[in-house]
Every structure is written in C-alpha cells, then in structure tokens.
Structure 1
Amino acid sequence: MKLKDSVALITGSSSGIGAATARLFAEHGCHVVINYSSNEAGARAVAAECEQQGVRALVVQANVADDADCRALVAATLAHFGRLDILINNAGTTKFCDHANLDGLNKQDFLDLYSVNTVGPFQMTRAAEKALRANGSGHVINMASIAGLAGIGSSIAYAASKGALVTMTRSLARVMGPEVRVNAVCPGFVQGEWLKNGLGDDRYNTLLEKNKAAAPLNDTASPETVADVCLGLIIGGDLTTGETILIDGGAHLGAAPVRR
C-alpha cells in the first residue's frame, strides 16, 4: 500500500506516539485526521506541522469510549476527505498502581481502562469498517503494549486491557480480510512525557536506564520508533495481518549473554 494521497485517522494524536505517527505519515504524503479528547492546542499544533508537508489535516475532538463520538469522528473524516484508508487506534489511558497492591484497583478502574483501551478500538473499527473495506486495501493498527503480553506495566488493569486488545486484533483480522489488514504493535518502555508524568522524573529515569541495560539493542522505544514500525506495516506488509509486533529493543528476550 502507498501512503501518498491516502487518508489516515489517528486517535489520540495530539501528542506522543499518535502525534509522531501523524507527522511521519504526512512526510509520506498522507492526509491525516488528528483526534484529541482534551488537548485541543496540542492537536492543532500537530495538524499545523503536518500541513507544512503539503498534506491536508483535519482536527476532530472525540472520546473513543463513546460510540456516538466514534461514529461522528468517522463521519467527519468522510465528509472532509471522502475516503478513509488507515485507522490507527492509538488513544489510550491508564492508572498507575503497583501490581502487588491489589487493593489499589477497583471495578471502576478496570471499566474505565477497558472503555478506552479495548472497547474504544472496537467501536472505532466498527464505525470505520465500511469505509476501510471500500478501497480494498484498508489497514487498522491497534496500539497495544508489551504489558498485554507479559502482564507488566503501569497496572494490572492496564495490562489486562492491552492483552484483550491483542486478542481482539486477531479476531478482527480474521473477519475483515481480505479488504482490510489488522495488526497490533506492542511497545515496551516508551520514552516521553506520558510515562514521565505518570512515574515522576526520578523513577522514570531509573526505569529508563534499567530497560536500556536489559535490552540487547541497549535502547528503548520512542514515539518516533513506534511510528516507524506503523509505517513499515502499512507500506511493506501487504501479506501481514493478525500480527503483534514487539518494539522494545529485544528486552523481551530476557537476560543477554555476557559480551566478551
């Protein structure tokens, strides 16, 4: 699939991974829909950067946990561009809670995280299904996490919601082919403000260095490296669907051998 003149809708793209993905796609000639829940200023700044690449950018507020908002977001995209080729389900949320602190989570925490991290991508995919199928080569990328594969991360509720998203990716890949490919990307520790704000500077810096040291590639993901993988799946993965791509510098491989 070629990105030039395609249209990509990227949820949660006012900052972080979503913003990096929008900017990268714009560099390749892809028109973008910048979605935000509360950060309008950030969304408009990202849109302006994308437009500097000569593409069109549409900014739309929507909460992916609300089905009506999902349908309105897709409708606005089609009204503005007349088509939709790529859906990046990037919007996500968490609650930071040590896994050993079982009393730190309650039922509502799980429901809140699932509503955005799992139900949101389903609702967005359902709303976009007809448009994505229309051109015969649509693509959905779900932003999951290594937390959903390894049972780690900011909280048990977060890991569970991302694990469910990985499973849902496979289910959707089966039913949306051959017109639409559905894949998930699973970043590990991602450098940037999202984790820094959640962890605090000291813990963030400590975990960053530990994750780098544990990875065979001696590095962790950044918003830009995650965006690179999304780009590769779209323009170089015509026969790839239902897959889960890890982006963690190889840290999931476990202890590295001693280097002589």
Structure 2
Amino acid sequence: MSKDGLCAIVTGSASGLGAATAAHLAKDGARIVINYSSSQKEAEQTADLCRSAGGDVVVVQGDVSRDEDCRKIVAAAAPWGRLDALINNAGTTKHMPHGNLDGLSAEDFQRLYGVNTIGPFQMVRAARSLLEAGAQASGRASAVVNVSSVAGISGVGSSIAYAASKGALNTMTYSLARALAPLIRVNTVCPGYIDTPWFTKGRGEDGAKQVRDSVIAKVPLKVASSADDIAALVCFLATPQSSNMTGELVRMDAGLHLIS
C-alpha cells in the first residue's frame, strides 16, 4: 500500500533503525520529521537520502527526555496540519553485565528511563492533537509505533536498567492503546539483535563482532537482523496495512525466544 502523503515523525532517526525507517517511508513520498539528539551530520545525511528517494523532510534537534524538546519536534510537523504516524525510536543504554549491580547508579536508571520510557510518553502527549487530526482527515486511526526490545520481555540485554526501561515501555503500550482508541492505535516492535553501530559504540569493534557471531550461532534462523529488516516491520505498523492492530507487542528476534 502506498505511503504517499503520509505525515510522520521518527525520533532518533539520524542513523541505525531510525534512519532505515525514515528511508523506507520516504520511498513512497512520505513527509517526515527526522530527529536527532547530537548527531547532526548523520541526521543531515539521512535527510538527503530521504529527499533523493522522494520524501519531504524536516530535520529537528531534540532530546526526547526533555518535554520542551518533544514539543519542539512535534511543532515541526504542525504546518502539515496532521500526523499519520509517530515512531518512537530514540533510545539509549549503558552496557553493564547484569551481575554487576554496583555498575549502575540511580542516575543511570533515570537517564535510560528518561529517553526510553518517559520520552515516548512525552512525544505521544505532544503529538496527540495532530495524530487525532490525521485520523479525522483519513477516516482511520493514526499510528504510534514504539521501538522496544526483547530485553523488555525477557529481562536480557545490555543492562538491567535498559531491560527495565523497555519493559516499562511495553506495559505503557497497553495503557496508551486503551486510552487513545479509537482515533490513535499504539503498537510496539520488540527486536532482538540488530546489526547496527549500537553495539560497536558500546563494546568496540571486536566486542560487537563477538556479539554478532554469537547471535548467528544461537538463533534458530541463523541470521543477524539488519536495520532494514526491522524497519519493514515498523513501517507495516505505522501504515494502513495494519489498520486493525492496536495494543500489540510484535517480536522479531530470528527465533531467539524459542531457545529455552
């Protein structure tokens, strides 16, 4: 189904999954707000890629843990008069072995919750009126897609704080889906490993390769998901193809959850 004319915000879209999602939407002529926190150069590169694919793009700096920044990001979409999709992709972590309880501080938890949990809530709150306008204009519910993690289901991942923040995001998906229906539907993607610079930044080149090789050897499908793989699922949930879905946590982990 064509996404021509779709109006969307993708937070954390300078690189990785966010950039891949924006690029997928742009191929069908979507209007997109690209958001970054600190990586302006990468955000502009993503914007150029989207424009060359046919998308109409606005680039906005903002940290989603700050409510005023969330409102600034949403304000960039206001000239369109509506939003059809809000994709809460921005996320952060601190890599820390789960057994090292002393390696995480209260400040670490606050920062991860601020970006991974509070940020999506603040974005939804700021965007609600534009999303409702989108639903009224199109005659179908607008979409919120949260990008979570299998860590939020199974308590695994880069740190306990990260898993906890994503678990809270998963629970919030149910609450928001109930609260915002029928004009806005809310779903969440829970990826497993994604082959992006995320692990390189946290563990270095060698550490990232070890993680990738370990995942491929372990999962039943023997693959490492790419950003494009997950972006296709995100875009499915953000567009009318999934118009009757809300309150769902959709896992894409190459079968990792099948391993006992």
**TM-score, normalising length: structure 2:** 0.95
What secondary structure, in the 3-state scheme, does the structure 1 residue paired with 2:59 have? Answer: strand
Aligned-pair distance for 1:217?
Answer: 1.3
Q: Is the 8 A contact 1:183 1:241 kept in 2?
A: yes
Of the structure 1 ranges 43-52 and 215-224, higher mean CA displacement relative to structure 2 is found in: 215-224
Which digits, 9 at most, give the CA deviation of each residue in 1:198-228, with x for residues without a partner? 1122222122122112222111221111101
> Within the alignment, does 1:39 sit opposite 2:44 as a pair?
no
Q: Is the 8 A contact 2:29 2:56 kept in 1?
A: no
Task: Tell me, in whole angstroms, the C-alpha distance in 1 between the residues paired with 2:157 and 2:254.
Answer: 16
The 5 Å alignment of 1:47-126 reads 47-79=47-79, 81-126=80-125
The 5 Å alignment of 1:1-260 reads 2-79=2-79, 81-136=80-135, 137-233=141-237, 234-254=239-259
Which digits, 9 at most, give the CA deviation of each residue in 1:159-195, with x for residues without a partner? 0000000000111001111111100001111101111
Aligned-pair distance for 1:240?
Answer: 0.8
Unaligned runs of 5+ in 2: 136-140
Task: Tell me, in whole angstroms, the C-alpha distance in 1 between the residues paired with 2:241 and 2:83.
Answer: 19
Task: Tell me, in whole angstroms, the C-alpha distance in 2 between the residues paired with 1:194 and 1:173.
Answer: 29
Unaligned runs of 5+ in 1: 256-260
Number of residue equivalences: 254
What secondary structure, in the 3-state scheme, does the structure 1 residue paired with 2:245 have? Answer: coil
Which digits, 9 at most, give the CA deviation of each residue in 1:54-82, with x for residues without a partner? 22100011110110111121112113x23
Q: Give, as a single letter, the amino acid of the residue that structure 2 aligns with 1:27.
A: K
Aligned-pair distance for 1:39?
Answer: 0.8
Percent identity over paired residues:
48
Aligned-pair distance for 1:235?
Answer: 3.6
The equivalent residue for 1:258 is: none
What secondary structure, in the 3-state scheme, does the structure 2 residue paired with 1:219 have? Answer: coil
Aligned-pair distance for 1:26?
Answer: 0.4
Task: Tell me, in whole angstroms, the C-alpha distance in 2 between the residues paired with 1:109 and 1:26.
Answer: 35
Which digits, 9 at most, give the CA deviation of each residue in 1:233-255, with x for residues without a partner? 22421111110111111111116
Which digits, 9 at most, give the CA deviation of each residue in 1:106-146, with x for residues without a partner? 11110010000000000000000111011222100001001
Task: Tell me, in whole angstroms, the C-alpha distance in 2 between the residues paired with 1:185 and 1:73.
Answer: 22
Q: Is the 8 A contact 1:2 1:235 kept in 2?
A: no
What secondary structure, in the 3-state scheme, does the structure 2 residue paired with 1:178 have? Answer: coil
Task: Tell me, in whole angstroms, the C-alpha distance in 1 between the residues paired with 2:223 and 2:252.
Answer: 10
**TM-score, normalising length: structure 1:** 0.95
Deviation beyond 4 Å, 4+ runs, structure 1: none
Which digits, 9 at most, give the CA deviation of each residue in 1:79-116, with x for residues without a partner? 3x232111000011111111000000011110010000
Task: Tell me, in whole angstroms, the C-alpha distance in 2 between the residues paired with 1:60 and 1:241.
Answer: 28
Task: Tell me, in whole angstroms, the C-alpha distance in 2 between the residues paired with 1:241 and 1:23.
Answer: 24
